[in-house]
Structure 1
């Protein structure tokens, strides 16, 4: 009886050791997959991909491609710039005005409403004309504390 009991204990211990080895191997495999995840993940191109490659330009130049979408845009640009002379936050006048004009409200053709419609569409053809403005706007936002 002691012999049978010892065989059973040995069998349980052997199975336990095998299970532990299998778990350790699985853990090692998962850790390796996790370590390689960022290396093997495919690059996803979003409709916004590429705006950051635009050159920085004045607010007037950045908004030229969307001028036809926004009622009274030249006057709105002038107003934003009037309110953003000599910014004290380290931004240029154009960068500061790009934030100001985004926050201005003048009805259904307000810049922020038109931009958000384009962004929500996820249609690259509707978003691409906004790239110069997005470059200026995002550059300004990144400079803020």
Structure 2
């Protein structure tokens, strides 16, 4: 019985990290305009996506709290929390940051990606 659940977890893991079927079959324009932008707090960084990722502000709080519990050597709390936030998964999966961001990155409409 435990193997049954392990298979489900492995399947979810595989789907999450190998969603190659969703990749566009053609080259998209590069994303430009980010190199000259100043670094901001994670709270400020998620402001433009609040309408696309429900409850993202609360999840930022949890990500930052989680990162405060572990020693950080080379990353700021905001940097570590941004990685944590990206890798967090919740239901429905289509509202997770990684899902929304990846779908947007695959879109031909590059306007959605402008800073």
In the superposition, the TM-score normalised over structure 1's length comes to 0.54
Equivalent residue, structure 2, for 1:110? 96
Structure 2 unaligned segments of length 5 or more: list them: 1-27
* 1:71 Cα deviation from its structure 2 partner: 1.2
User: Is the partner of 1:81 in helix, strand or coil?
Assistant: helix
CA distance in 2, matches of 1:87, 1:97: 13
Structure 1 unaligned segments of length 5 or more: list them: 1-44, 132-145
Residues matched between the structures, number:
85
Equivalent residue, structure 1, for 2:65? 82
CA contact (8 A) 2:42 2:82 kept: yes
User: Is the partner of 1:102 in helix, strand or coil?
Assistant: helix
Alignment of structure 1 residues 43-82 onto 2, 5 Å: 46-82=29-65
Query: Which structure shows the higher helix fraction?
Result: 1
Structure 1 runs (4+) deviating above 3 angstroms are none
CA contact (8 A) 1:87 1:93 kept: no
CA contact (8 A) 1:102 1:111 kept: yes
* 1:51 Cα deviation from its structure 2 partner: 1.3
- For each residue in 1:17-43, what CA deviation from the matched residue of structure 2 results, as whole angstroms up to 9, or x when unmatched? xxxxxxxxxxxxxxxxxxxxxxxxxxx
